Amino acid sequence: MAPKTQNQVPIPATISEAAKTMLHGWSIEGRNAGANLPKHNAPIAEWEERQHAFKIEAEKPIAQLLELYQPQVETIFLDGIRAIDIKPKNYQESDKVIIYIHGGAFVFYPADVTLLSSIPLADVSNLRIIAIDYTLAPQAKFHQIIDEVITAYKALLKTYKAEHIAVYGDSAGGTITVGAILKMRDLKINLPSAVVLWSAWLDLNEIGDSYQTLKDTDPTLIYKGFLENCAEAYASRKEWENPYVSPVYGDYSKAFPPTLIQVGSKEIFLSNSLRMYRQLKENNKDVELDVYEGMWHVWQGHYDIPESKIAIKNTKNFIYKHLGIIK
C-alpha cells in the first residue's frame, strides 16, 4: 500500500497503473465536501438545481466516448416510457437484447448521460442495449419508478422473448432492477434470462459490515448527507425493508433469474453484494460473485482502465451464456 496523506485515498499496489492514477485524483476530503444534498422533503426546486449540476458534469466525457466507439444512439418510447436505444458500430440485427437500468442514487442523471456504463458493453457484446429513462426521485417514488421499468419491459416483450432478454443495473439501478424483477414475479410476468448487478445498492439502510469498515476509505460513497438523503427521496424509511425497495430482503426461495454480482473491494456497498449473493446461493439459485481488488463504486464505467475491461468482458460472457449466444 502506498503511503498516503491524511485525506488521500489509500492506493493498493495490487491494481493497475491506470486505476492508481484515478485514485490519486480523489480525496476523502473531496468526497465529504459533496455530502450536502437537500433533505428528502426539501422544495423540488432545490433538488432540480442539484440534478442539473450533476447532469452537466456527467455530460463532459460523452463526446469523447461517442467519437471512440461510434455507436448508434437514439431516443425511443416504450408504451410511453422514454428510453435510449444504443446499438454498437456495425451492429447486426439480433433477437437478443439487453436492458440497462442506470444508477445515480435514484435522484440523478437522465439515461442520456449514463452512456459510460452502456456503450462499452454494447460494443463488446455487439448487442442492442436499451436504457430506461425512468422518472427520478424525489419527483417520483419507488412505486412509480419500478412500474415505469415494468411497463418498458412489457413493451419489449412484444418484440423479444423473455428468454432472449438480459437486464443489468449499476448502483441504484441495480436496486431498481431487482425490485422490478421481484414485482414482475409477483405479477406473474415472464422473467428475463439473466441479471447482472454492478455495485448494486441492495439495502438502503446503513446495515452491513462494509458500511462501517470501509466508511473512511471509500473514495466516492458517503452515507450521511448524501446516500441517506437519496434513499429518503426514493422511499420513506418505513419502506426500507420492503423487498421492492431493499431487494436483499426478498424471498429467493421462489423463481429468480441467473445472476452475476460484480462489486469492488473499496466500496461500502460490498456487504450489500455479499448478502445478496448469500441469499441467492442459500436458495440454490444460479449466482456468481465477481469481486475486484481495489475497485471503487461502478468502476466499470471507467472504460479505459484494465479492471473495467475485464468486468465488462465477464458481463458479456455471462449474458452470452444465459441468452444462448455461442461465439
Bridge partners (DSSP) listed for residue 81: 78
pLDDT value at residue 2: 44
Residue 65: Cβ within 10 Å count: 17
Cell readout for 172 is 441504484
Written out in words, the top-level CATH class of the domain with range 17-323 is alpha beta
Between the alpha carbon of residue 9 and those of residues 127, 156, 295, the distances in Å are 36, 43, 12
pLDDT band at 8 (very low <50, low <70, confident <90, very high): confident
Domain ranges of the chain: 17-323
pLDDT in tens, 257-270: 999 999 999 999 99
pTM summary value: 0.96
For residue 174, give every residue at least 6 positions away whose Cβ sits within 8 Å of its Cβ, in sequence order, or none: 101, 103, 168, 197, 198, 199, 200, 201, 202
Taking residues 191-209, what's their average pLDDT?
97
CA dist 303 and 317 (Å) reads 17
For the chain, the average pLDDT equals 96
pLDDT given at position 327:
75
Between β-strands 97-101 and 128-132, what pairing exists: parallel, antiparallel or unpaired? parallel
How many C-beta atoms surround the C-beta of residue 158 within 10 A?
Answer: 8
In this prediction, residues 140-146 reach a mean pLDDT of 98
